[in-house]
Each structure stands twice: as C-alpha cells, then as structure tokens.
Chain A
Amino acid sequence: MNFNIVEFFNQTIDLVHKQHHGSIPLILFIGILFGVIIQWSRVDTFDKIAGFAMLHGFKVPKMLFFSIGIASIGLYFMIKMGWAHYHIKPIVLGGILIGGVIFAIGMAILGLCPGTGPVAVSEGNIDVLTGLIGGLLAGALFTYLYPDLKSIIGPNFGKVTLTQLVNHDWFIFIYGALLIFIAFWLPEREVEEEVGEI
C-alpha cells in the first residue's frame, strides 16, 4: 500500500496534463459547480436518495430527468455543429446487468452514489465517509480481479445511441420532451428536511 499523497497528486496532475480535456483550474471549476448545484438543491442526502428508493420523495428523479431532457436536445445540436463530441459507453451486457443490480442495491443502502457521495462527505456526513472508504476498497479489488471479471462483463454490443438508430433530427425533440414530461409527471412529494445527528 502507498498513501503518499504528494506522489499521488504529482502523478495524477501529470496524467491530466497529458490529456486534452482541460487545465487543472478548469476541471476544478467544473467540479466546484457540480458540488454547488448538488449541495444547493440538497439531492446529496440519504433522505432524498434512499427516500426515493422508499418512494417517499421524488426530487432526485425529477431533477435528473429534467436536466437530461434539456441537455440531450442541446447536446445533439452542439455535436452537429462540431462544438462537442460523442463519448458513448459500450453496451457490455453482462457488466451492465450485474453491475446495475449491485450498484442499485448499494445505492439504496448507502443512500448516495459516486457523484453525490463526495458532496455528502463535504457537508459532514461521517457515515458516507465510511461508504467512500468501502468504495476505495471496491475500486482496488475490482482492479485486482479485472482479468478474471472480463468474462462476466462481456459480450460487448458496441457503442449505440438512439439518435443513430432513428437518424432523424425530430427524434431528439421527442426524446427530450418525453424526459421533461416524466420530470413534471412524477409526484411533487418531497421528504421533509431534518438535520441528522451523531
């Protein structure tokens, strides 16, 4: 094991510099905005996420569906204009099915996911910090077992998008509108906010 934080950051920053995906300040800026939006809307809480799993409140799916609906329409035309590119993940059927089930059970129990979890840690949730430690161990174990896990993850059905399959501009408006409709259609109910305790 190696917990040399200085070495870790030197190597990490070096790896980021070699890519063309923005400078360190720009990436930090994107992260800060993400943290602000998630914390400000309070969708980084156990009560909101596990509360959705218990069907007590719907703020998390409403916000998710709404933002994906808007983002999808703009992104489609940004890519057409050359202002952005597709970054599609492949359909690795076994991995998505098995991984999706394990992920969802964990998400209902922890009440958070890898993006919202760090926000919850930043506002003082010690329980989520132990979840993060569990996540770090899982990452290490997965990396170690990867050669054996490859057979479970496949078969790979490639990088497919619905817009490719339909291949008409109008489709993206229907897709986006449908997601926005779902966001409004889901119940307005929300879990009442309370402060947790030690």
Chain B
Amino acid sequence: MNIPKRLGWIPGGIALALLIWFTFSTIGADRPIGASTGIAYMGAWFFGLQNSEYFQHIKNSGSWEVIFLIGVLIGGFLTSVFITKTFKFRILPPLWKKHKNNSPASRLIWSFIGGFMVVFGARLAGGCTSGHFLSGASQTAVSGLLFGGIVIVVLILTGRLFYKNL
C-alpha cells in the first residue's frame, strides 16, 4: 500500500474534525483542544511563578496542554521523518527569503518577537487558533468567532504591511 506523502485539506479537515469529536467526548478527554495555556503554564513555571494568581487559575488546563503538546512534538517528528520526509534543520523559510530578507539573524529575531506576541496576545484573549477558533467556533461560541474574525483581518493586513514584493 502506498501512503500518500501529503494530506489535502479535505482529508486533513475530516481527520481534524474526528479528533475534535474524540477529544470533546466523554470517552476521550471531555474537554476542548488548546495549546497556548500550556506554553504560558510552562513559561510561568520556569520563572518560579507557581504561587501567582494567574498560574493557579490556569494550572489545570496548562498541565493538560503540556502533555498534549509533548504528544504533538512526537507525532510531528515521526510524521516528518517517516511519512512526509521533511525533517531538516533550517532557519530561513523560502517565503521569508522571497518577501522579507536573506538574513538568518533577522529571521531569528523576528521569530522571537512574533512568538512573544502570539502567546501574549493569546493569553489576553483567553485562547489561540486551537482554543478559540478550532474548539470555540465548533461550539458556535461568540468569543471564538469574534477572535477568529479579528485575527483573519489583522493577519492579512500585517501580511500586506510587513512583507514586500507581494
């Protein structure tokens, strides 16, 4: 049997929907999928903030999401090595080279800034693409739809302003 090297958006979308159902179900985890709380939990723990109000507030979701993200790392690694054969150490994404610059240092600095903004913004909003959009919008949550709408508009605006030669 030949395993396809890439998953199209239709089979990918169906697989993701099945995973959302399983995660929500009482035979699964009886909770939504989320990622950004796990990263905030980890950061706060490393900085010794376990007794702070916010850590106490997120420690249950955060610890669950840390275990989830470890699974994500394992699944992503194995797939990149055995199925898509895309595992490779690299810094410069081809599209960054085409539309921003040729400098690995610049890419690393901007990645740091981008990663900082992504997690800080997600914690202000109370969720990210996984929690607010994938899980929230699947429940028709107004909070998730509002977040998704804002993110799509600002994402495209930033794409216009931050990159060149579009």
Interface on A for B, CB 8 Å cutoff? 1-3, 8, 11-13, 15-16, 18-22, 24, 26-47, 50-56, 59, 61-64, 66-68, 70-72, 74-76, 78, 82-92, 95-128, 130-144, 146-147, 149, 152-153, 159-163, 172, 175, 179, 183, 191, 194-198
Contact = CB atoms under 8 A, between A and B. Distances in A.
A72 B140 contact: yes
14 contacts: A35-B79, A63-B12, A66-B10, A87-B135, A96-B150, A98-B124, A100-B147, A104-B152, A112-B118, A115-B130, A121-B73, A131-B114, A135-B115, A144-B44
Interface string B65-81: 01111111111111110
Given A67-B134, A104-B151, A162-B140, A30 B28 contact: yes
A29 B23 CA distance: 10
B93 to A, nearest CB: 4
Most chain A CB inside 10 Å of its own CB: which residue of B41, B93, B158: B93
Given A36-B75, A72-B138, A196 B90 contact: yes
Interface of B: 6-17, 19-33, 35-36, 38-49, 52-55, 59-60, 63-64, 66-80, 83-84, 86-96, 99, 104, 107-147, 150-156, 158-160, 162-163, 166
Given A66-B13, A78-B21, A139-B123, A130 B112 contact: yes
B159 A197 contact: no
A50 B97 CA distance: 12
B12 A8 contact: no
Contacts of B14: 66-67, 70
Contacts of A119: 72-73, 75-76
Contact of A12 (B21, B67, B154, B159): B67
B154 A136 contact: no
Given A22-B29, A67-B134, A88-B136, A102 B121 contact: yes
Given A28-B70, A198-B90, A83 B119 contact: no
B77 to A, nearest CB: 4
A2 B64 CA distance: 20
Contacts of A147: 53
B38 to A, nearest CB: 8
B151 A107 contact: yes
A30 B22 contact: yes
B7 A139 contact: no
B111 A110 contact: yes
Nearest first, the 9 A-B pairs at minimum CB distance are: A31-B71, A35-B75, A106-B117, A131-B115, A99-B124, A110-B114, A53-B159, A103-B121, A139-B43
A102 B123 CA distance: 10
Contact of B9 (A21, A59, A72): A59
Contacts of B63: 11-13, 15-16, 19
Nearest to B108: A130
Contacts of A163: 139-140
Contacts of A194: 94
Contacts of A91: 142-143, 146
Given A15-B63, A37-B15, A42 B84 contact: yes
Contact of B113 (A53, A134, A140): A134
A35 B71 contact: yes
A191 B99 CA distance: 13
Contacts of A96: 124-126, 143, 146-147, 150
